[in-house]
Amino acid sequence: METFGRIVSVTIDGALFESPPFTIELDLPFDSGSDADVNNIKIYNLSDQTISRITKDKYVVVQAGYEGDVGTVALGTIEDVSTKWQGVDKITTLLVGDGTSSWLTARVNKSWRQGVKASEIARDIIGMLGLSVGRIELPNDTAYPSGRTLTMGAKTALEELARDAGARLHVTRQAVYMVPPSRYETVGVVLSAETGLLDSPEPVSKPEGGYKLRTLLQHRITTDAMVEIRNRTANGEFRVVSGRHRSTAKEHVTEMVVVPV
């Protein structure tokens, strides 16, 4: 496992914590479902004064990678923070939601004009949430001849619009995506033994035709990223369905499940 040159940084409300010198562990999931992701971050042996400043709702940016190739792997706000002793180490654990607070609690109570399209309603709701629009590309941008009234949770409203439009809905890095089920983003990542692929891809039963694999941590990989795999087991272009970035003393990796594009 390659550990030389690994970099992790966590910025909390403008305060920067880097590894090294701090010991920082990451478990950052991502997937194509409509539930927002919750990230787990552990920082070792902070002072009591520093811990007192790390509080709920503070904004967090996590960057990771290797020297010369570092990028953002998670964004969000602190949902919970706790500190516990483990032997001689004092470990502060942050649960950081990717827009989860507004995603789960915000409500919509609004009527739209006759003929309004699903994409316009979606943009309005996303604006209410305080999240950004990642991409809205609807297979069927449904028009509502009689207008549309929505009185429900914002997440539920967007899920209904996505179903009407035949789109897939997910939140990634504080941005909302409503895209065709097979949509992918080209990120320029080639995975092979020479570029950090750690094991041969392993076939999975779900999704059909999918594989799971591990590579040295690659910050460009997230939901819907298109990666090129060069391996005897799987060879060609694949879309990332789900995965996680993990960093501990023993590993600094990206795990993922992919399907052919």
CATH code, domain carrying 171: 3.55.50.10
Residue 166 lies in a domain: yes
Q: How confident is the model at residue 171 (pLDDT cuts 50, 70, 90)?
A: confident
Specify the pTM.
0.83
We report the CATH number of the domain holding residue 30 as: 2.30.300.10
Residue 17 lies in a domain: yes
Please provide the DSSP assignment of 104-122 as one string.
HH-EEEEEE-TTEEHHHHH
Q: How confident is the model at residue 229 (pLDDT cuts 50, 70, 90)?
A: very high
The predicted pLDDT at position 3 comes to 57
- 26 and 64 Cβ atoms separated by less than 8 Å: yes
Angle at 147 between CA 145 and CA 148, to 5 degrees: 130
Mean pLDDT value across the chain: 91
Query: Do 66 and 119 have their domain in common?
Result: no
Query: Do 155 and 191 have their domain in common?
Result: no
Residue 14 lies in a domain: yes
The predicted pLDDT at position 1 comes to 47
* Domain-terminating residue out of 98, 131, 159: 98
* Domain-terminating residue out of 130, 151, 179: 179
Q: pLDDT tens across 38-56, in order?
A: 899 999 999 999 999 999 9
Q: pLDDT tens across 11-20, in order?
A: 999 999 999 8
Q: pLDDT tens across 182-192, in order?
A: 888 888 899 99
- 26 and 246 Cβ atoms separated by less than 8 Å: yes
Q: From CA 175, how far away is CA 194, in angstroms rounded?
A: 32
Q: What is the mean pLDDT of residues 80-101?
A: 90
- Give the CA count within 13 Å in the CB-facing half-sphere of 93: 13
* Domain-terminating residue out of 179, 201, 218: 179
The Cα-based distances of 175 to 84, 117, 197 in angstroms read 32, 20, 28
- Domain extent, residue 32, equals 6-98
Q: From CA 176, how far away is CA 178, in angstroms rounded?
A: 7
- 190 and 201 Cβ atoms separated by less than 8 Å: no
Q: From CA 143, how far away is CA 159, in angstroms rounded?
A: 16
Query: Do 190 and 250 have their domain in common?
Result: yes
- E-strand ranges in the chain read 6-12, 15-19, 24-31, 38-44, 59-66, 69-86, 89-97, 107-112, 116-117, 132-136, 143-144, 148-153, 168-172, 175-179, 185-191, 202-203, 211-216, 225-230, 235-247, 252-260
Helix (H, G, I), strand (E, B) or coil at 21: coil
The predicted pLDDT at position 100 comes to 65
Residue 113 lies in a domain: yes
Look up residue 91 and give its amino acid. I
The predicted pLDDT at position 99 comes to 66
Query: Is residue 106 scored above 50 in pLDDT?
Result: yes
Residue 251 lies in a domain: yes
> Which percentage of the chain shows pLDDT scores above 70?
96
Helix (H, G, I), strand (E, B) or coil at 13: coil
Angle at 170 between CA 185 and CA 248, to 5 degrees: 80
Residue 1 lies in a domain: no
Query: Do 151 and 191 have their domain in common?
Result: no
The predicted pLDDT at position 51 comes to 96
The predicted pLDDT at position 186 comes to 87
The count of structural domains within the chain is: 3
Query: Do 142 and 106 have their domain in common?
Result: yes
The predicted pLDDT at position 49 comes to 95
Q: How confident is the model at residue 34 (pLDDT cuts 50, 70, 90)?
A: low
Query: Do 10 and 77 have their domain in common?
Result: yes
The predicted pLDDT at position 128 comes to 86
Which of 27-36, 57-66, 225-234 has the least mean pLDDT?
A: 27-36
